[in-house]
Amino acid sequence: MSEQDEAAQVEQVAVRLHHRYPLIPAADLELLVHTIHRRYAGCRVHDFVPLLVERTAREIAARLPADVHFRTPELSPIVVIRG
């Protein structure tokens, strides 16, 4: 998988998550997806990275209250990603 293909698929993850969790701001979901995606930057095989990113982001988003805004300091959750 090329870097461009991977980047496009990861962008689609954010779009799908926004459709699934419309009460969470799209910018916050994008931030979540890109933060998770960065964890896989050093991987040698990237074929399944978008799938892993989506699965992890979906698990985290499902546990978030709808009024969470990652960019607002007083509401910023501490998200622990275990892998």
- Residue 67: predicted pLDDT: 56
Average pLDDT, stretch 74-78? Answer: 47
Rounded CA gap, 35 and 17, in Å?
Answer: 14
77 or 66, greater pLDDT: 66
The span from the CA of 66 to the CA of 18, in Å, is 12
CB atoms < 10 A from the CB of 40, how many? Answer: 18
Q: What average pLDDT score do residues 45-67 get? A: 88
At residue 68's C-alpha, the angle toward residues 63 and 71, to 5°, is 130
Region 48-68: what's the mean pLDDT? 86
Q: Which residue has the higher pLDDT, 77 or 42?
A: 42
CA dihedral sign, ordered 12, 15, 20, 26: positive
Whether the predicted pLDDT of 8 surpasses 90: yes
Local confidence band at 74 (pLDDT 50, 70, 90 cut-offs): very low
